[in-house]
C-alpha cells in the first residue's frame, strides 16, 4: 500500500468508491423489491408462508453480515480494505447469479445465507472513504458515497421492474450479478489503496475486541445512531406503500408509491451532500441532533396524511431531515477511531446498521398489522429518543470537528 495521496489522487479514489457503490446498489435494487413474488414463483402458495419466507430471506443476509462484521473489519485492517471489497463483490457475482437459478425457496434461503458470509461491502467502502480523504474532508467523502447508495433507490427498482416484467425475475438477479462484476472491475482498475498509518515492519495490526472498541468515547452512541437511522429508513420504505393504499385507487398504488419513494431518495441525497459541506464548520453531532429532532415529529405527522400529496411533502421533508443520518453517524465514527483500527471499528459499526436492517421489516410489519398510524408515531418517537440520547448521553461529540488522527 502506498502513502498519502495528492489532492487529485484522493478525489479520484472517492469518486471511484462513489461510482462502484452506485453501480452495485442499483444492482441490489433490481432484485430486492421482488422477493415475495420470487418466493411465490418458487412454489410457495400460502400468502402467510410467502410473508414468512420473505421476512426470513430479507433478514438472513444482514443478520449474518452483522455478526461477522467485526471479523471482516479486522481482516481488512490486516490484509487491506480494497482486498475485502474485492472479496465481497467477487462472491456477489457468483452467489447472486445462483439465486436466479434456484428451484426451491430453501435453496434461495441458503444462497441468501451464503451471501451474508461474504458481505461487509458497505462498511469497508465507508472505511476506505474515511481514510482516503484528508481528515477535514472525511464527511464530504462519506457523504458522496452515501449519496450514491441513496440515489440507487430512485433508479434501481424502476429499471429492475422493467427487466423482471420483460424477461422474468431470475433475470433481475442475473442483471444484479453483472452490475456487481462491473463494479468489481472499476474498483480493481481505478482505486489506489492508501495506508492510513505507519507501522514498523512486521508489526501486526492491533486487535480491536468489543471491550476495546467501547473504550472509545461515545462509540456505543454512534452504533445506536446507525441502528436507529437504518431502522427508520427501512421501515418507512415498507410503510409508504401501505399508507398509499389507503389514499388512492388500487391501480395507482404502485405508481404513487414509486413517486414518493423516488422524491424521498432525492431529498435524502441533497441532505447528505449538504451536511457534508456544513460539517466543515458545524460539528457533525449537532447536525445529526437537529435532523433527528425535526425529522421525528414530521415522521409522526405522516400518520395524519389524508391525501397522497400531503404524504409526498412530509416524506420528502423526513428524507431531507433524516437522509443524512447515516452519513453523519459514520463521520462521527471516523472522528472517534484512529485510521489504523478504522476497518475493525467500522465492522462493529456495521453491526448496528445490520441489526437495524434485520429488525426493521420484522418490527415494522408487526406494528403495522396492529396499527399503521401507530407505526408512524413509533418511528417519530424513536427518532426523538435518538436525539435525546445524543443530546444528553454524548455531549462531548457536539463540540468535535476534527477527525481522529489518520
CATH number of the CATH domain containing 159: 1.20.1250.20
Quote the CA–CA distance of 349 and 169 in Å, as a whole number. Answer: 33
The verdict on residue 170 lying in a domain is yes
Q: Which residue has the cell 457534508?
A: 276
Contact yes or no for 182/70 (Cβ under 8 A):
no
Domain of residue 98 covers 7-193+211-399
- For residue 172, how far is the Cα from the chain centroid? 21
pLDDT in tens, the chain (406 residues): 444 555 667 788 889 999 999 998 888 887 776 777 788 888 888 767 776 787 788 778 877 887 777 777 777 767 777 888 899 999 999 999 999 999 999 999 999 999 988 877 777 787 778 777 777 777 778 878 878 887 787 777 767 767 777 788 888 899 899 999 999 999 999 888 765 444 434 444 445 555 666 677 788 888 899 899 989 988 887 788 778 878 888 777 767 877 888 888 889 888 888 887 887 788 888 899 999 999 999 999 999 999 999 999 999 999 999 988 888 888 888 777 765 566 666 767 777 777 887 788 778 777 887 888 999 999 999 999 999 998 887 766 655 544 444 4
Neighbours of 405 (CB within 10 A): 10
pTM for the model = 0.71
Q: What is the pLDDT of residue 201?
A: 40
Q: How many domains are there within the chain?
A: 1
The verdict on residue 359 lying in a domain is yes
The verdict on residue 104 lying in a domain is yes
Contact yes or no for 134/10 (Cβ under 8 A):
yes
Quote the CA–CA distance of 310 and 246 in Å, as a whole number. Answer: 13
The verdict on residue 109 lying in a domain is yes
Q: What is the pLDDT of residue 2?
A: 46
Find the helix packing angle between 81-99 and 121-132, rounded to 10°.
150
- For residue 254, how far is the Cα from the chain centroid? 23
The verdict on residue 316 lying in a domain is yes
Contact yes or no for 81/127 (Cβ under 8 A):
yes
Q: What residues form DSSP beta bridges with 194?
A: 2
Q: What is the pLDDT of residue 233?
A: 86
Quote the CA–CA distance of 97 and 317 in Å, as a whole number. Answer: 37
The verdict on residue 312 lying in a domain is yes
In order of 20, 101, 113, the CA distances from 107 in angstroms are 29, 9, 10
Of 285, 273, 272, 292, residue with least CA distance to 232:
292
The angle subtended at Cα 385 by Cα 380 and Cα 391, nearest 5°, is 130
Q: Which residue has the cell 427508520?
A: 232
Amino acid at each position: 500500500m502506498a502513502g498519502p495521496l495528492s489532492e487529485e489522487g484522493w478525489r479520484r479514489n472517492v469518486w471511484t468508491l462513489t461510482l462502484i457503490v452506485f453501480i452495485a446498489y442499483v444492482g441490489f435494487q433490481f432484485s430486492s423489491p421482488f422477493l415475495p413474488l420470487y418466493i411465490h414463483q418458487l412454489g410457495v402458495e400460502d400468502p402467510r408462508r410467502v410473508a414468512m419466507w420473505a421476512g426470513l430471506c430479507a433478514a438472513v443476509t444482514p443478520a449474518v453480515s452483522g455478526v461477522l462484521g467485526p471479523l471482516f473489519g479486522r481482516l481488512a485492517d490486516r490484509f487491506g480494505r480494497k482486498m475485502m471489497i474485492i472479496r465481497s463483490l467477487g462472491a456477489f457475482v457468483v452467489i447472486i447469479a445462483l439465486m436466479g437459478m434456484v428451484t426451491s425457496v430453501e435453496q434461495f434461503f441458503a444462497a441468501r445465507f451464503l451471501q451474508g458470509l461474504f458481505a461487509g461491502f458497505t462498511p469497508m467502502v465507508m472505511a476506505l472513504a474515511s481514510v482516503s480523504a484528508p481528515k477535514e474532508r472525511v464527511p464530504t467523502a462519506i457523504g458522496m458515497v452515501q449519496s450514491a447508495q441513496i440515489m440507487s433507490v430512485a433508479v434501481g427498482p424502476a429499471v429492475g421492474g422493467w427487466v423482471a416484467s420483460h424477461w422474468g425475475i431470475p433475470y433481475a438477479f442475473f442483471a444484479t450479478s453483472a452490475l456487481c462484476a462491473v463494479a468489481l472491475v472499476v474498483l480493481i482498475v481505478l482505486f489506489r489503496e492508501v495506508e492510513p498509518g505507519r507501522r514498523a515492519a512486521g508489526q501486526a495490526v492491533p486487535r480491536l475486541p468489543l471491550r476495546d472498541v467501547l473504550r472509545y468515547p461515545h462509540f456505543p452512541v454512534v452504533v445506536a445512531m446507525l441502528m436507529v437511522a437504518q431502522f427508520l429508513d427501512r421501515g418507512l420504505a415498507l410503510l409508504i406503500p401501505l399508507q398509499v393504499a389507503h389514499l388512492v385507487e388500487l391501480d395507482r398504488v404502485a405508481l404513487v408509491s414509486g413517486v414518493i419513494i423516488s422524491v424521498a431518495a432525492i431529498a435524502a441525497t441533497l441532505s447528505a451532500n449538504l451536511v457534508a459541506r456544513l460539517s466543515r464548520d458545524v460539528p457533525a453531532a449537532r447536525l445529526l441532533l437537529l435532523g433527528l429532532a425535526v425529522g421525528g415529529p414530521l415522521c409522526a405527522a405522516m400518520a395524519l396524511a389524508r391525501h397522497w400529496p400531503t404524504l409526498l411533502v412530509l416524506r420528502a421533508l423526513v428524507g431531507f431531515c433524516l437522509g443524512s443520518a447515516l452519513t453523519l453517524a459514520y463521520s462521527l465514527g471516523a472522528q472517534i477511531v484512529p485510521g489504523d483500527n478504522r476497518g475493525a471499528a467500522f465492522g462493529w459499526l456495521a453491526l448496528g446498521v445490520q441489526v437495524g436492517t434485520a429488525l426493521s421489516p420484522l418490527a415494522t410489519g408487526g406494528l403495522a398489522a396492529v396499527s399503521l398510524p401507530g407505526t408512524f408515531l413509533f418511528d417519530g418517537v424513536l427518532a426523538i429518543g435518538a436525539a435525546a440520547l445524543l443530546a444528553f448521553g454524548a455531549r462531548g461529540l457536539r463540540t468535535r470537528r476534527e477527525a481522529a488522527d489518520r
